[in-house]
């Protein structure tokens, strides 16, 4: 196996983004596993892997990755929103609502406000 270096990890990350966009989340996870093994502190890679887990309907791994991202970046509105979607899909509406509302409080994105059941006219 060829030696892995930082450039290879960047290439793997970019390829994983493309795989996720092409609806191959399992392929994206596979590439990101090596990136995260070499750079466990890389929050962007973890967020991308969480999205890939979600797209592959692997809800528990997605939840764990989104939570790890939020431990590092508690003000990441997208991570709160994505975690909320994960909880929603897993049939956990109370936890979903909490994170939808946190996302909307951090970023008044119309999609976040709608999901949080906040109306911009309130």
DSSP conformation letters of 20-87: HHTT-HHHHHHHHHHHHHH-TT-HHHHHHHHHHHHHTT-HHHHHHHHHHHHHH-TT-HHHHHHHHHHH
Give the mean pLDDT of the chain.
Answer: 93
- pTM passes above 0.85: yes
Give residue 120's pLDDT: 46
pLDDT in tens, 6-64: 789 999 999 999 999 999 999 999 999 999 999 999 999 999 999 999 999 999 999 99
């Amino acid at each position: 196996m060829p030696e892995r270096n930082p450039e290879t990890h960047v290439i793997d990350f970019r390829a994983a983004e493309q795989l996720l966009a092409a609806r191959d989340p399992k392929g994206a996870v596979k590439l990101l596993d090596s990136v995260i093994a070499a750079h466990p502190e890389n929050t962007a890679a973890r967020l991308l892997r969480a999205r890939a887990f979600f797209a592959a309907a692997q809800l528990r791994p997605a939840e764990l990755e989104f939570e790890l991202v939020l431990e590092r970046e508690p003000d990441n509105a997208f991570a709160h929103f994505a975690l909320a979607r994960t909880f929603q899909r897993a049939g956990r509406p109370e936890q979903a609502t909490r994170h939808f509302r946190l996302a909307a409080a951090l970023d008044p994105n119309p999609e976040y406000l709608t999901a949080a059941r906040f109306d911009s006219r309130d």
